[in-house]
Amino acid sequence: MKLPSTMKYALAALIFAIALPIMAMNLQQAMSSLSDTKNQGLVGEQPNGYLGVVSANNTDAEEITKLINEARRAEYQRLAQSNGLSLLDVETMAGQKAIEKTNSGHYILVNGKWAKKP
Protein backbone atom coordinates (compact mmCIF):
# COMPACT_ATOMS: atom_id res chain seq x y z
CA MET A 1 0.00 0.00 0.00
CA LYS A 2 1.41 3.33 -1.05
CA LEU A 3 0.88 6.32 1.28
CA PRO A 4 0.10 9.78 -0.11
CA SER A 5 2.95 12.24 0.40
CA THR A 6 0.95 14.35 2.89
CA MET A 7 0.42 11.22 4.96
CA LYS A 8 4.16 10.48 4.83
CA TYR A 9 4.98 13.97 6.11
CA ALA A 10 2.42 13.68 8.87
CA LEU A 11 3.83 10.30 9.90
CA ALA A 12 7.38 11.66 9.86
CA ALA A 13 6.33 14.63 12.01
CA LEU A 14 4.60 12.31 14.48
CA ILE A 15 7.69 10.10 14.78
CA PHE A 16 9.88 13.17 15.30
CA ALA A 17 7.52 14.56 17.96
CA ILE A 18 7.59 11.27 19.83
CA ALA A 19 11.38 10.91 19.55
CA LEU A 20 12.19 14.49 20.58
CA PRO A 21 11.67 13.99 24.34
CA ILE A 22 13.75 10.82 24.14
CA MET A 23 16.60 12.70 22.47
CA ALA A 24 16.55 15.51 25.03
CA MET A 25 19.01 15.26 27.89
CA ASN A 26 17.75 14.94 31.45
CA LEU A 27 19.37 16.21 34.65
CA GLN A 28 20.86 12.84 35.56
CA GLN A 29 22.54 12.58 32.15
CA ALA A 30 23.78 16.16 32.48
CA MET A 31 25.25 15.46 35.91
CA SER A 32 27.03 12.33 34.70
CA SER A 33 28.44 14.25 31.68
CA LEU A 34 29.62 17.25 33.70
CA SER A 35 33.07 15.92 34.59
CA ASP A 36 33.90 15.07 30.97
CA THR A 37 32.54 18.41 29.80
CA LYS A 38 34.76 20.23 32.31
CA ASN A 39 37.76 18.09 31.32
CA GLN A 40 37.20 19.11 27.69
CA GLY A 41 37.20 22.79 28.71
CA LEU A 42 33.66 23.38 27.48
CA VAL A 43 32.14 24.62 30.76
CA GLY A 44 33.46 26.25 33.90
CA GLU A 45 32.46 27.58 37.29
CA GLN A 46 31.46 31.20 37.82
CA PRO A 47 31.56 33.34 40.98
CA ASN A 48 27.75 33.60 40.86
CA GLY A 49 27.38 29.89 41.69
CA TYR A 50 26.41 28.77 38.21
CA LEU A 51 28.13 27.01 35.36
CA GLY A 52 29.06 28.94 32.27
CA VAL A 53 29.78 27.80 28.73
CA VAL A 54 33.46 28.41 27.94
CA SER A 55 33.40 27.15 24.39
CA ALA A 56 30.39 28.44 22.48
CA ASN A 57 28.53 26.50 19.78
CA ASN A 58 28.46 23.22 21.68
CA THR A 59 24.86 22.13 22.06
CA ASP A 60 25.62 19.45 24.66
CA ALA A 61 27.61 21.88 26.82
CA GLU A 62 24.81 24.42 26.61
CA GLU A 63 22.18 21.82 27.53
CA ILE A 64 24.28 20.49 30.44
CA THR A 65 24.80 24.04 31.70
CA LYS A 66 21.10 24.86 31.42
CA LEU A 67 19.91 21.75 33.25
CA ILE A 68 22.46 21.92 36.04
CA ASN A 69 21.96 25.65 36.55
CA GLU A 70 18.20 25.15 36.84
CA ALA A 71 18.77 22.51 39.53
CA ARG A 72 21.32 24.70 41.31
CA ARG A 73 18.97 27.69 41.29
CA ALA A 74 16.16 25.61 42.81
CA GLU A 75 18.52 24.38 45.54
CA TYR A 76 19.89 27.88 46.18
CA GLN A 77 16.34 29.21 46.53
CA ARG A 78 15.49 26.42 48.96
CA LEU A 79 18.62 27.11 51.02
CA ALA A 80 18.03 30.86 51.03
CA GLN A 81 14.46 30.47 52.17
CA SER A 82 15.20 27.90 54.87
CA ASN A 83 18.13 29.92 56.27
CA GLY A 84 16.68 33.42 56.01
CA LEU A 85 19.25 34.53 53.46
CA SER A 86 18.96 36.31 50.15
CA LEU A 87 19.30 34.29 46.97
CA LEU A 88 22.27 36.47 46.00
CA ASP A 89 24.07 35.61 49.26
CA VAL A 90 23.59 31.87 48.68
CA GLU A 91 24.67 32.14 45.04
CA THR A 92 27.82 34.06 46.04
CA MET A 93 28.76 31.56 48.75
CA ALA A 94 28.12 28.65 46.40
CA GLY A 95 30.20 30.30 43.70
CA GLN A 96 33.16 30.77 46.03
CA LYS A 97 32.93 27.17 47.19
CA ALA A 98 32.59 25.83 43.62
CA ILE A 99 35.65 27.79 42.47
CA GLU A 100 37.66 26.58 45.49
CA LYS A 101 36.70 22.97 44.68
CA THR A 102 37.41 23.29 40.96
CA ASN A 103 40.21 21.00 39.82
CA SER A 104 43.44 22.44 38.52
CA GLY A 105 43.26 22.89 34.75
CA HIS A 106 39.48 23.37 34.71
CA TYR A 107 38.00 26.73 33.78
CA ILE A 108 36.82 29.39 36.19
CA LEU A 109 35.54 32.87 35.46
CA VAL A 110 37.94 35.49 36.84
CA ASN A 111 37.21 39.20 36.35
CA GLY A 112 34.85 38.40 33.49
CA LYS A 113 37.34 36.20 31.61
CA TRP A 114 37.70 32.43 31.47
CA ALA A 115 40.98 31.12 32.86
CA LYS A 116 42.32 27.69 33.72
CA LYS A 117 42.64 27.23 37.44
CA PRO A 118 46.30 26.80 38.38
Domain assignments of the chain as residue spans, ordered by start = 26-116
Four-point Cα dihedral 76, 82, 88, 91, nearest 10? -30
The runs of H, that is alpha helices, within the chain are: 5-23, 27-39, 59-83, 87-101
Residue 2 has pLDDT above 80, yes or no: no
User: What angle in degrees, to the nearest 10, is found between the helix axes of 59-83 and 87-101?
Assistant: 130
Q: What is the pLDDT of residues 32-74, one digit of tens each?
A: 889 999 999 999 999 999 999 998 777 889 999 999 999 999 9
Higher local confidence (pLDDT), 20 or 83 = 83
Which of 49, 52, 47, 46 is closest to 65 using CA atoms? 52
pLDDT averaged over every residue in the chain: 85
